[in-house]
Amino acid sequence: MVGGGFIILLFVNLLQLLNPSFSHPLCTDSRAPYTPRTPLGFCPYNGTVCCNSAEDLGLQKQYEAMNITDAGCASLLKSILCAKCDPFSAELFTVKSVPRQVPLLCNSTISANSTQTNQPKSDFCVEVWDTCQNVSMMNSPFAASLKGQGGTPVNSNVTRLTDLWQSKTDFCNVFGGPSVDGSVCFDGEPVTLNTTGTPSPPSGMCLEKIGNDSYLNLAPHPDGSGRAFFSNQAGQIWLATIPKRGSGGTLEVDESNPFLDLTDEVYFDTEFGMLGIAFHPNFPQNGRFFASFNCDKTKWPGCSGRCSCNSDVNCDPSKLGTDNGAAPCQYQSIISEFTVNGTASKLSLATSAQPSEVRRIFTMGLPFTAHHGGQILFGPTDGYLYFMMGDGGGVGDPYNFAQNKKSLLGKIMRLDIDNFPTAAEVSQLGLWGNYSIPKDNPYSEDKELQPEIWAIGLRNPWRCSFDSARPSYFMCADVGQDQYEEVDIITKDGNYGWRVYEGPYLFTPPQTPGGNTSVNSIKPIFPVMGYNHSDVNKNDGSASITGGYFYRSTADPCMYGRYFSVPGSSLPALGYIFSFGEDNSKDIFLLASSGVYRIVPPSRCNYACSKENGTAVVTPGPSASHPSVASLLMNPYTNLGLIARDVSIAFVFLAMVYDKLVLY
């Protein structure tokens, strides 16, 4: 493995692609806010909201049934109930992944750091107590046990706050305080954010190389240990032990003994291969895991399925022609289920898997030889399997698959792999494999959608992640065509514009045998960050984006809460950046052609981060003399500070912005 290891310091040059704010509009049901067909009559919200007219009427009835006689208290309670319609309701009503019955009420604990344009009533929680403490109300939303989480009701019809809470302090300990980052709380008015602030960028970031081998995927072991699964594009998965931070160790992995080897089934080429792995949340108990890969039906009998170009989507495969010599749908996109070798009592200790698939989850023929996405992830709160699929290839998505609601190309899918469908369901719903449809998929409200679909309008989503601190933040990087690379926050039933738009720009496809979608017929959700190809000065086709993670590790406190993604795919010293990974300690890894790198404490590179142990360290000055990249890579000594002076290295993390994003 790594001979002694080495350290790389990357000076970070942030591109301020948008004015970073402190939250992103998002509703509690994972949807983006929308403009209701009928304006709300009860709740004082205009523009985009998280309530329709029926929900607005329901809140009015709830308010009226409370029968509050005190006018001052009634006004406060109306505003609190109506906060469910706030465009930022997902954050107001969810704190540390715990859903709440009432929004987080602002109090003095966050007034000094408030980021709202209008300074919030920093003691709004206190105001609610002082105004309503002795007011009787029916079915109070504040009826919770003193040990509750802000919303567990008790059996009581008429209560006062003083009947339920011993003091103002107890009340505000549950209903008031900061959210995850102290950015959003409810002060009695619709949330308004300051979008003009610019965060101070850190001076650099320290990387530690812990492995020489090249991988495409990293999945932490679901048992919470320091182990993780690594896979390559050719079709092999390994189980490795990650060295403890600061130990100077390297990945412990036996390359000659993979956990699973699917190279006989996987078709491996530039944009083909094993593209995703996902381990069931209950893997330690059931041993189930899943692989997403491509196959060639001319080489493997098990590679067979319906062509994604078919009559259901007004596409004739005989008219597709060939792409790089391949017949239409010669290549397939597959999700297979596997299980480990071992006894039921020791599944989490298994070091190998059974070589044959247990169940074929999904099979679909691909029209062209590019844009397959392929990543799979389990939702951290719902346990469903999310599957990222590109538009299938072809310049400008010629058959308009990404906007076609009956096509699974250019989509993010959401599948229930814990329940088997009946034969009738497979036939009636036109399913592509052995899975069920979650009851709250958008199909339940829009029957024009293929039932697997969660979001549409993607070109080629390359690396998505759920924020471990705020799971409702589902981030995906989407690779552009000619001009723009983007990062999106994926929401239920969201439309991300392709091919009507490429990022924020209208797009005109060079050919349209599959027809067009009119601009006025869709409501696109534009990127929260992105860049033009000209911004990265790339002329070699390597400007495509690779999505990453919000940084939630304690290793580098100056990076906490920032989102990482890479502009372009090639960087000096590191080679090609294929993907990112996050382990059970929330450390972030770069998976590159030159090896595996981990972000480590900044002091190991001797640069300033005043938050590290409360002590600032010295940043190397601009006049300091630094050895060349090549000489340091060859240096046999450990823990060397490699100061990357190359401009393109300084450019490495384009999208390091606060986790406080605003959609504009």
**Separation of alpha carbons 340 and 355, rounded Å:** 9
- The 3-state secondary structure of 585-614 reads CCCEEEEECCEEEEEECHHHHCCCCCCHHH
Q: State residue 182's pLDDT score.
A: 54
439 pLDDT above the threshold of 80:
yes
Q: State residue 639's pLDDT score.
A: 25
325 pLDDT above the threshold of 80:
no
534 pLDDT above the threshold of 90:
no
Angular region, 17: left φ>0, alpha ψ -120 to 50, beta rest: alpha
507 pLDDT above the threshold of 80:
yes
- Max mean pLDDT range (55-59, 246-250, 642-646): 55-59
Q: Which CATH architecture has domain 217-563?
A: 6 Propeller (2.120)
Task: Tell me what the pLDDT averaged over the chain comes to.
Answer: 83
Residue at token pair 């792995």: 277
Reported as a pLDDT band with limits 50, 70 and 90, residue 651 is very low
CA distances from 51 to 142, 224, 473 (A): 22, 38, 20
Reported as a pLDDT band with limits 50, 70 and 90, residue 274 is very high
Q: State residue 603's pLDDT score.
A: 86
Q: State residue 612's pLDDT score.
A: 76
Helix axes 71-82, 53-66, angle to 10 degrees: 150
Reported as a pLDDT band with limits 50, 70 and 90, residue 417 is very high
613 pLDDT above the threshold of 80:
no
518 pLDDT above the threshold of 90:
yes
Q: What does the angle CA 312 – CA 317 – CA 318 come to, to the nearest 5 degrees?
A: 135
Q: State residue 433's pLDDT score.
A: 96
Reported as a pLDDT band with limits 50, 70 and 90, residue 176 is confident
Nearest to 86 by CA among 122, 117, 59: 59
322 pLDDT above the threshold of 70:
no
Reported as a pLDDT band with limits 50, 70 and 90, residue 5 is low
Q: State residue 132's pLDDT score.
A: 96
State percent of the chain over pLDDT 90.
63
Q: State residue 537's pLDDT score.
A: 57
* Mean per-residue pLDDT, 602-630: 53
pLDDT higher for 6 or 319?
319
144 pLDDT above the threshold of 70:
no
Residues contacting 169, CB < 8 A, separation 6+: none
Nearest to 248 by CA among 590, 10, 2, 9: 2
466 pLDDT above the threshold of 90:
yes
Q: State residue 1's pLDDT score.
A: 39
pLDDT higher for 602 or 331?
331
Q: State residue 77's pLDDT score.
A: 97
**Separation of alpha carbons 262 and 383, rounded Å:** 26
CA distances from 492 to 27, 186, 454 (A): 10, 24, 6
* Mean per-residue pLDDT, 319-335: 85
b/e code 582-611 from CB counts within 10 Å (16+ = b):
bbebbbbbbbbebbbbbbbbbbbbbbbbee
Pick the range with the lowest mean pLDDT from 120-134, 262-276, 415-429: 120-134
**Separation of alpha carbons 642 and 462, rounded Å:** 29
**Separation of alpha carbons 317 and 499, rounded Å:** 21
Reported as a pLDDT band with limits 50, 70 and 90, residue 116 is very low
159 pLDDT above the threshold of 50:
yes
Q: State residue 610's pLDDT score.
A: 75
Q: State residue 10's pLDDT score.
A: 61
pLDDT tens-digit series, residues 58-92:
999 999 999 999 999 999 999 999 999 999 999 89
- Domain segments of the chain: what residues? 53-175, 217-563
443 pLDDT above the threshold of 90:
yes
On whether the CB atoms of residues 559 and 599 are closer than 8 A, the answer is yes
Supply the DSSP string of 41-72, one letter for each residue. SSS---SSBS--HHHHHHHHHHHHHH----HH
196 pLDDT above the threshold of 60:
no
pLDDT higher for 324 or 499?
499
* Mean per-residue pLDDT, 199-226: 88
**Separation of alpha carbons 106 and 176, rounded Å:** 6
Reported as a pLDDT band with limits 50, 70 and 90, residue 197 is low
pTM, to two decimals: 0.87
Pick the range with the lowest mean pLDDT from 118-122, 124-128, 131-135: 118-122
Residue 647 is inside which H or E element, if any? helix 647-650
pLDDT tens-digit series, residues 449-459:
999 999 999 99
661 pLDDT above the threshold of 50:
no
**Separation of alpha carbons 375 and 464, rounded Å:** 8
Range list of β-strands (E), 70-204: 94-95, 98-99, 137-138, 158-159
* Mean per-residue pLDDT, 355-367: 96
Residue 650 is inside which H or E element, if any? helix 647-650
**Separation of alpha carbons 96 and 262, rounded Å:** 39
